[in-house]
Amino acid sequence: MATAGGEVTCVDFWANGFGMRARIALRELGVAFRYVEEDLRSGDRSELVRRMNPVHRSIPILIHGGRPVCGSVNILEYVDETWGNDGGPRLLPRDPLQRAHARFWADFVDQKVFSTQTRFLKSKGAEKEAAKEELLDQLRRLEEVLGDKTFLAGDEFGFLDAVLIPFSSMFHGYEQHGGFSLETECPSLMRWVRRCKERDSVKSVLPDEDEMYELHKKWYGISE
Amino acid sequence: MSSPVKVICALGSPYSHSVEAALCLKGVPYELIREELSNKSELLLKHNPVHKKVPVLLHGDHAVCESLVIVEYVDEAFDGPPLMPTDPYDRAMARFWADFMQNKLLELFWLAHWTEGEVQKRFAKEAKENLTLLEVQLRGKRFFGGDTVGYIDIACCVLAPWLSVLEEVTGVIVVDESEYPALRQWEKEYNSYDALKPCLPDRDQLVAYFTENKERYKMFANA
């Protein structure tokens, strides 16, 4: 389908939540792309990653017509601007205020939720308890953003849904690690997760939750 | 007729300045509401309950928070010269470098001025490595986006009005003129840009503010 301006490649790792955003967005907008796997379990980054993202050496990287776009939220905006304008599906709304709200909450997920969930997974005892409460608070805030809507910004799956849904692949992990049930703590968010998972784009990208938790247990040295 | 625009800001904040810069460049009139960060107002807490930080843009009944989100909002909601490039790839590059400045370089740059001894040397080394990346981006250009101040320049504003102030107050030099000639020239261009004149912070006021708060900044940096 749509590949205006040259071949599209996405360099990513199957368990990278940030990269899942990019791959979901590309599928949502029907963009054919080549997937190149970078194994994050090895210490060194490949020559491709070092060449395409010399500043951060991180993934995901979108390569379009030979030119790299780095940073998951940046990639979402680029994908929307390049392929989302032709009368088909788009990720961000047109209204500037709604766009600002979507960007604000995406920044909240990156600034707050990501660091809290990492701290929660890595810590023990009182620190873990505190991080758990903070994480639940943040998820409840996102539930408030959802409100009565089908998706985070309205009736259509979009930018903010793509930003947050990859985290759901670790929800089972959070529950195991923290001894709580997200169905109890955040029921409407969980209904949103199920709605998102009905979409081909999300279904085909989100990894198995047990595999995600096993990998993160190794990464973070979680023993129990 | 457009709804009134107000900016909840704080003296000394480069983030607050970025919002003012965006509004000035678009030619949007606005009112400043100055916040005392040690005693946050009901207005701020109401409009930014999530982060409780400045800047906050109030446009009629609506609030927008987070400085770069606000800058893009101002660019999209108001007519006037564009702050972002039009080509999607150039826009992606602009967002990349703004994110680099705000999420990687800014803290290193700040700490490199406020810390001391071995700690300072470490931060200065890291800051310089990252400053070099910006220096390369700037070479041969007046501003990051070309001939006019744009999104990346606004995101990098701490390297303009604040740079010489920090050097004066702390006595530390990190952005050496001989090593970063393009950045120091960019600093002069930014500080003398006509369209920014209404919102450039008063240098004496900045010096007084940072001198008065020097111990507090050093304490935070060394924590």
pLDDT at residue A221, as a whole number = 82
Q: Does B14 share its domain with B119?
A: no
Distance from A211 to chain B by nearest Cα, in Å? 31
Q: Does B159 share its domain with B201?
A: yes
Is residue B126, in this structure, part of any structural domain at all?
yes
Is residue B176, in this structure, part of any structural domain at all?
yes
Nearest Cβ partner for A100 among B50, B73, B104: B73
Is residue B47, in this structure, part of any structural domain at all?
yes
Contact A77 B95 (CB under 8 A): yes
- The answer to whether residue B88 neighbours chain A at the CB level (below 8 Å) is yes
Residue-range definition of the domain harbouring residue B193 = 88-222
Q: How much of chain B exceeds pLDDT 70, in percent? A: 100
Is residue B151, in this structure, part of any structural domain at all?
yes
Distances (CA, A) of A3 to A32, A36, B101: 7, 17, 31
User: Quick one: which of B74, B4, B64, B10 has its CA closest to B36?
Assistant: B10
Q: Does B215 share its domain with B109?
A: yes
Q: Does B181 share its domain with B73?
A: no
Q: Does B141 share its domain with B199?
A: yes
Q: Does B72 share its domain with B102?
A: no
Work out the pLDDT band at A199, boundaries 50, 70, 90: very high
- The answer to whether residue B82 neighbours chain A at the CB level (below 8 Å) is no
CA gap A93, B78 in Å, rounded: 17
Is residue B83, in this structure, part of any structural domain at all?
no
β partners of residue A68: A63
Q: Does B114 share its domain with B185?
A: yes
Q: Which residues contact A221 (CB under 8 A, 6 or more apart)?
A: A122
DSSP reduced 3-state for B82: coil
Is residue B204, in this structure, part of any structural domain at all?
yes
Residue A71 pLDDT > 80: yes
Question: In A, residues 140-169, which contact B (CB 8 Å cutoff)?
Answer: 141
For A123, counting Cβ atoms within 10 Å of its Cβ (0-12 exposed, 13-18 middle, 19+ buried), the class is middle
Query: Using an 8 Å Cβ cutoff, are B64 and B41 in contact?
Result: no
End-to-end, the C-alpha distance of chain A in Å comes to 46
pLDDT at residue A69, as a whole number = 98
End-to-end, the C-alpha distance of chain B in Å comes to 49
CA gap B223, B218 in Å, rounded: 9
Total number of domains in chain B? 2
Best A101, A141, A145 member to test B by mutation, with max B CBs in 10 Å, is A101
Contact B50 A141 (CB under 8 A): yes
β partners of residue B146: B143
Tokens describing residue A3:
């590949």
CA A183 to chain centre: 20
* Positive or negative: CA dihedral A62, A68, A69, A72: positive
Mean pLDDT of chain A: 95
Q: What is the pLDDT of residues B177-186, one digit of tens each?
A: 999 999 999 9
The answer, as to whether pTM is greater than 0.80, is yes
Q: Going along B38-190, which residue ranges are E strands?
A: 56-59, 62-65
Q: Does B124 share its domain with B213?
A: yes
Work out the pLDDT band at A1, boundaries 50, 70, 90: very low
Of B44, B77, B110, the position where a domain reaches its end is B77
Of B77, B97, B121, the position where a domain reaches its end is B77
What is the β-pairing status of strands A61-64 and A67-70?
A: antiparallel
Q: Which contiguous run of DSSP H or E holds residue B190?
A: helix B181-191
Alpha helices in A67-208 (DSSP H): 72-83, 96-108, 114-122, 125-146, 159-164, 171-178, 182-185, 187-197, 200-205
Q: Does B98 share its domain with B185?
A: yes
* Positive or negative: CA dihedral A201, A205, A208, A212: negative
Residue B120: give its domain's CATH number: 1.20.1050.10
Is residue B82, in this structure, part of any structural domain at all?
no
Q: Does B205 share its domain with B109?
A: yes
Q: Does B103 share its domain with B192?
A: yes
Q: What is the pLDDT of residues B116-138, one digit of tens each?
A: 999 999 999 999 999 999 999 99
Distances (CA, A) of B163 to B10, B82, B139, B207: 18, 26, 19, 11
Residue B21: give its domain's CATH number: 3.40.30.10
CA gap A60, A19 in Å, rounded: 5
Residue A2 pLDDT > 80: no
Q: What is the DSSP letter of B90?
A: H
pLDDT at residue A88, as a whole number = 83
pLDDT at residue A152, as a whole number = 97
Residues of A in contact with B70 (CB under 8 A): 100
What is the β-pairing status of strands A34-37 and B56-59?
A: unpaired
Residue A87 pLDDT > 90: no
Of B77, B111, B131, the position where a domain reaches its end is B77
Is residue B105, in this structure, part of any structural domain at all?
yes
Query: Using an 8 Å Cβ cutoff, are A158 and A151 in contact?
Result: yes
CA gap A132, A112 in Å, rounded: 13
Domains of chain A and any CATH numbers? 8-83 (3.40.30.10), 96-220 (1.20.1050.10)
Distance from B218 to chain A by nearest Cα, in Å? 24
Q: What is the DSSP letter of B30?
A: -
CA gap A22, A41 in Å, rounded: 20
Contact A55 B89 (CB under 8 A): no
Contact A99 B73 (CB under 8 A): yes
What residue of B is the nearest CA neighbor of A66?
Answer: B89
Tokens describing residue B119:
């700690």
Q: Does B127 share its domain with B198?
A: yes
Q: What is the pLDDT of residues A101-153, one digit of tens each?
A: 999 999 999 999 999 999 999 999 999 999 999 999 999 999 999 999 999 99
Residue B129 phi, psi dihedral angles, 5° rounding: -60, -40
CA gap B13, A178 in Å, rounded: 39
Distance from B76 to chain A by nearest Cα, in Å? 6
